[in-house]
Structure 1
């Protein structure tokens, strides 16, 4: 049986420039979630659960319109941007 890593797309930024991009680790994090390793998924890509919350809320809002959906989506999007940018800065300069 083949492993999920065999089917993952390579990061072009990492291949061309040797540097991680802001999305590096997301595919492996999703694979870890499907394998049941939730803590390792968070360490691989810390924004994974807030991204799941954002995408889930957007999908749920399409079926049931929430009163303050726009504000919730903006808050979740800003939270994701902060986590992704913070993780990128940490990996680039402090790791």
Structure 2
């Protein structure tokens, strides 16, 4: 069943309109392929493709749990995960853009 889902996702990847029109990758480029690598179990490849994916998924999971169970420490951890995700997105994007030139 998972293999069918992964095959379908691989065959139906969305194209980046930002990259299509401007010729450079957007900050979100690599997210889909990183998610596919993670679904296949290749964690290092997933981190290499899009370093912010795992913190973003952790943040989303914690957010859903926090909304349900109202953890006293939930908002603090969510803020840290958010800032970590933003920093990883920015640094990886700057690194990716600098490799073009």
Structure 2 gaps of 5+ residues are none
Q: TM-score, normalised by structure 1?
A: 0.91
- CA–CA separation in structure 2 for the residues paired with 1:82 and 1:89: 11
Equivalence map 1:75-90=2 (5 Å): 75-90=80-95
Q: Which fold has the larger relative contact order, with Cα–Cα distance below 8 Å and residues 6 or more apart in sequence?
A: 1
Structure 1 gaps of 5+ residues are none
Q: How many residues are aligned here?
A: 95
Give the superposition deviation at 1:76: 1.0
Q: TM-score, normalised by structure 2?
A: 0.86
- CA–CA separation in structure 1 for the residues paired with 2:11 and 2:19: 17
Equivalence map 1:20-59=2 (5 Å): 20-59=25-64
Give the superposition deviation at 1:68: 2.5
**Deviations 1:8-37 (CA, angstroms, capped at 9, x unpaired):** 110111111111111100000111111111
**Deviations 1:29-67 (CA, angstroms, capped at 9, x unpaired):** 111111111111110101111111111110111221110
